[in-house]
């Protein structure tokens, strides 16, 4: 039998080293498990905000970008088109966008926009999700003799003004949806984030 006295310092070092190695091993084992909770790159991209450059968008012009698999329309309206919006209220189902889906920081007025001349909308009819066509010309059409410009859904005949407000008596139950967005600069719109406006 040995008469050696146990070295307490050595014991503490060995216990400490064992705890450190065990802790590192535990973290290494958990890392892939916790990482599996994060969304995939494809899922992140599907919901990621998108930027739209409107620097070359002329009055009457339209830019289309994709966000979350949906077309987002950005339309620059002329002064004449904006003036026409104010006189359409009597013909619209929801002129103040009280029942329509849009961020609270976007005014419910005729323009429905952060900047009156540029409107941002999801380009899907609120009836069955068809994509209406952009018809900005103020000319009589086969579907409306008093057409003031806007969007026409050929699937079931819903019509929307240049702010995406639906006309009365049409299949679409609400105005076109306005996504969260904000101006990152004078010419760049970030769609999918509110920029602290909410």
Give me the catalytic one of 17, 156, 169, 188: 156
Per-residue pLDDT at 183: 95
Q: What token pair was written down for 15?
A: 């216990």
Per-residue pLDDT at 198: 60
Per-residue pLDDT at 162: 94
* Mean pLDDT, each 10-residue run in order, the chain (198 residues): 64 79 74 62 68 94 93 94 89 92 92 95 91 86 83 91 94 95 94 80
Per-residue pLDDT at 40: 58
Domains located in the chain, CATH noted: 49-198 (2.102.10.10)
β-sheet with 62-67: strand ranges across:
62-67, 70-76, 118-122
Instruction: Check if 127 is active-site.
Output: no
Phi, psi of 120 (to 5 degrees): -120, 120
Per-residue pLDDT at 71: 95
Torsion, Cα of 50, 55, 56, 60 (10° steps): 80
Per-residue pLDDT at 46: 60
Complete DSSP assignment for 8-33: HHHHHHHHHHHHHHHHHHHHHHHHHH
């Amino acid at each position: 039998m040995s008469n050696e006295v146990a070295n307490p310092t050595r014991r503490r070092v060995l216990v400490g080293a064992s705890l450190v190695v065990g802790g590192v091993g535990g973290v290494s084992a958990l890392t892939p498990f916790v990482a599996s909770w994060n969304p995939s790159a494809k899922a992140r991209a599907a919901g990621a905000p998108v930027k739209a450059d409107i620097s070359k968008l002329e009055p009457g012009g339209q830019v289309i970008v994709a966000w979350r698999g949906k077309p987002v329309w950005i339309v620059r309206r002329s002064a004449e088109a904006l003036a026409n919006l104010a006189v359409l209220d009597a013909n619209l189902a929801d002129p103040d966008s009280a029942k329509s889906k849009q961020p609270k920081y976007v005014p419910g007025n005729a323009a429905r926009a952060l900047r009156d001349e540029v409107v941002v909308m999801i380009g899907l009819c609120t009836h069955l999700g068809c994509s209406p066509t952009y018809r900005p010309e103020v000319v009589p059409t086969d579907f409306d003799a008093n057409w003031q410009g806007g969007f026409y859904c050929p699937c079931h005949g819903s019509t929307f003004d240049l702010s995406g407000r639906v006309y009365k008596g049409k299949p679409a139950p609400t105005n076109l949806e306005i996504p969260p967005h904000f101006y990152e600069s004078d010419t760049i719109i970030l769609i999918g984030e509110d920029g602290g406006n909410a």
